Structure 1
Amino acid sequence: MKRLAAVLSLVLVLGLVLPGCAADEGTTDSGDSTSGGEATSGDPIIIGSALCQTGIQAPLDEPALRGAQLAVDVLNEQGGILGRPVELRAMDGQSDPVVVGNVAKQLIAEGAVAIIAPSDFDFGGPASREAQANGMVGISPCASSPLYSSTALGDKQFTMSMWNTTMGAVMAEYAYNELGYRTVYVITDDFIDYTKSLSEYFIVAFEEIGGEVYFEDTYTQGQADASAQVARIKDLPEQPDFVYVSSYMPDLALIIRTLRESGIDVPVVGGDSYDDPALFEALGTEYGSEIYFDTHSYMSEEGHPDYPAFEASYEAKYGDKPDAVWILPGYDAVMVLAEAMEIAGSTDGAEMATAMETSTFELLTGTLEWGDASTGHEPNKAAAVVELNEGVPSFIGWMTPEFLPAP
């Protein structure tokens, strides 16, 4: 397909090894030396995790925490960071912005030199603000709102994710250029900034290339009833080529099932919140076809040539194969912090931020570069495009948009 090209072959900065038994759920402990890698000594470098292990944010953050824990094991097997062991100290943000901020404060008080924040601006922002206030780097595995930026949060704050400017534009161009769709009905979940801004940038990009938006409808997570949206679609003089639904689980499955059960069988398009095994299972073979979305990576060798080694490493630690794509950016976030410390030669927040602004990172989630603080630390990376057919995802390719809406 035109414009869908594989990302250049990526090489992990730090090679994967098969670690030993699983770490404790809350923390990853490190001794004074490693078995099978270079010796480490001195006090551990503590990375703090304020990821949400419970609540509505947990389906994204809990897998990311597992990935981060695995990355720490890999680092310690390979000699740690700056010759020192690494410890991941995790506390549950509980999907509550106030708790997230307090957790970040406590982690910093306990010696964390960097903070991993939840994968959403509304939930993750408080952790990054605490990191910024203490002069240290904060990083979110998957927050995609352009608000997750150095402009809003401070010059040491980053997100691993492409912004919604990229995510929305990629699927607008894929729908228009590759699938040949010209008209769309948009349903926007107005509960959090992620879903609102994703629709905003999708609409801007779709109209820029000549697409027509029949209507932007709204839905609120938790209402558990999409009959009004269905009625408005059915009342249109002409049915749209597809429906763009910007929502997330659990109501995302309900919305799509309601569309299908009511006889609205046009394709459904969306963003990275679709990359959820719970959605695939809820839709199944009956409702889970002609669904397209973009996301952070793809869990196979198609998505990244080093994925089989990662999968083996993960399975050795957890006793099962990776079950959610969110594991990968959690892993990559720790590896980025580690490389930034190595480049800087220290754990100083300002020096780490400079290293992150001026380096290219080759990761399981793709090649990543950030703009400088004056650009908001805008992430420059491709999105993985995926099709769901009979409840089974398949990889289409990596894509960057030709037109990128202004944040």
Structure 2
Amino acid sequence: MNRLSQMLLAGAAIACLAAVPAKAEIVIGAALNLTGIQAPMDEPGFRGAQVAIKELNDAGGLLGEPVKLVTIDGKSDPVTVGNATVQLIDDGAQLILAPCDFDFGSPASREAQAADLVGLSTCASDPLYSSWSLGDKQFTLSMWNTTMGATAADFALEKGWKKAYVVTDQFIAYTKSLPKYFIEQFKAGGGEILLEDSYNNGDNDFSAQLARLQALPEKPDVIFLSSYGTDIGTIIRALREVGYDAPVLGGDAYDDPALHQALGEKFGNDVYFVTHTWAGPDAGPEMQHFLKLYKEMYGQEPDTSFVATGYDAVMLLAEAVKAAGSTDGAAVAQALEEGQFKLLTGELDYTTADEGHMPNKAAAVIALNGGKTSFVGWRRPETVPAP
């Protein structure tokens, strides 16, 4: 065989190889924040998502194809999250997992919407995370702050705590809207707000607020503190050190083992927070199954409910893809709107896009005493404030 014939045959072989399609797979792109201030919410969710991916693939994949999770660290920076999502979509992602917050997660959902893909935040709770502001293919797994705030208010009133001091951290949409809904529900139930105060995340100085609190003619029955990150511990310590031993209430940002450890036995008492689920067997039989899988993968028990949000987000997308029969954005969005889902984080159904894709969902109440958490129970308010 002469050299020209060999070259022609080689070229034909290369052409044949190029014509063989790559192995089909369903790709979920995740621009989660694995580092930075948002990592305590997103990194556990990433771990939970990995458990779900393995479970799906062990059972044969999705629509007969393996499922792949591709993650790029958003680094707790909204611009980086948006750019990472563009890269994920360019690289073939068919579904998008967005970070656990409106400020940090909305750039991912905006890019998903622009590409006609379904985007799902693992746990953004501000009502801004809606189809109204992000588009008809965008959802969040979390309850909205309307439910989170109302649950906290109802719990306080149920305990007989009638007078509240409220602190609003001006950090992000989440910290600003959560106390708004707490206050509305608390007042509607007969509670009284003694003082609404403000704090700026990163100040690490609560002395001005303490002076205003100490100037009140009476002490509050409960303190509702809406803050984020390490500032939560700083404020609780400041309150306890000057003798304010009233129960402290908050949202899911408290669901951080580093915070519980920082408060410890001395300061980690009479603290309650509303979050997504309880990472223990008494949360339900589905949780027992997840805990077994999680321990097999990581060799230890989860220490925050955020692991369940990542697992649920992947499994929710999988159920919707099965119902739709494809990863087509419009079909998957319709399946999410029409479905009713039983998850580790509670039963969930969404309203229509015209109604905001509001997640109808229960909440879990957790207590912190002696620096250790315990499960108070599931709560679903009979009424919630309008978003």
Structure-1 separation of matches of 2:209 and 2:292 = 44
* % identical aligned pairs: 57
Residue 70 of structure 2 is aligned to residue 89 of structure 1: yes
Residue aligning to 2:337:
357
State which of 131, 137, 147 in structure 1 corresponds to 2:128. Answer: 147
TM-score, L = length of structure 2: 0.93
Q: Which structure has more RCO (C-alpha within 8 Å, separation ≥ 6)?
A: 1
1:293-348, Cα deviation, whole Å (9 max, x unpaired) = 11100011111222222112111112222122111010000001111110000010
Shift of 1:251: 0.6
Match of 2:140 among 139, 142, 159: 159
SS at match of 2:285: coil
Do the aligned residues in 2 keep the contact of 1:137 with 1:353 (CA within 8 Å)? Answer: yes
Shift of 1:397: 1.0
Q: Residue 314 of structure 1 aligns with which residue?
A: 294
Is 1:278 aligned with 2:258? yes
Partner letter of residue 312 of structure 1?
A: K
The aligned residue for residue 124 of structure 1 is 105
Range with greater deviation from structure 2 (227-236 or 316-325) = 316-325
Letter in 2 for 1:223: D
Find the partner of 1:330 among 310, 321, 324.
310
SS at 1:74's partner residue? helix
What is the match of residue 217 of structure 1?
A: 197
Q: Is the 8 A contact 1:63 1:326 kept in 2?
A: yes
Q: 1:104 aligns with which of 57, 62, 85?
A: 85
Q: How far 1:70 moved relative to its partner? A: 1.2
Q: Residue type of the partner of 2:322?
A: E
In the comparison of the two structures, how many residue pairs are matched?
Answer: 366
Is the contact between residue 42 and residue 85 of structure 1 (CA under 8 Å) also seen in structure 2?
Answer: no
Corresponding residue number in structure 1 for 2:37: 56
- Alpha-carbon separation, structure 1, partners of 2:296 and 2:251: 31
Whether 1:189 aligns to 2:169 is yes
When structure 1 is superposed on structure 2, of 392-401 and 99-108 the one drifting more is 392-401
SS in 1 for 2:35: coil
State the partner residue of 2:54: 73
Q: What is the rounded CA distance, in whole Å, between the counterparts of 1:130 and 1:288 in structure 2?
A: 40
Aligned-residue offset at 1:114: 0.8
Find out whether 1:370 has 2:350 as its counterpart: yes
Query: Is 1:249 the counterpart of 2:223 in the alignment?
Result: no
Which one has a bigger Cα radius of gyration?
2
* One of 88, 94, 98 as aligned partner of 1:113: 94
Structure 1, unmatched stretches of 5+, are 1-40
- Provide the C-alpha distance between the structure 1 equivalents of 2:322 and 2:382, rounded to a whole number of angstroms: 34
SS class of match (2:274): strand
CA contact (8 A) 1:82 1:342 kept: yes
Deviation at 1:42, TM superposition (A): 4.3
Q: Is the 8 A contact 1:298 1:304 kept in 2?
A: no
Q: CA deviation at 1:252?
A: 0.3
Aligned residue number for residue 301 of structure 1: 281
Aligned to 2:9: none
Q: CA RMSD in A?
A: 1.0
Structure 1 Cα separation of the partners of residues 58 and 269 of structure 2: 43
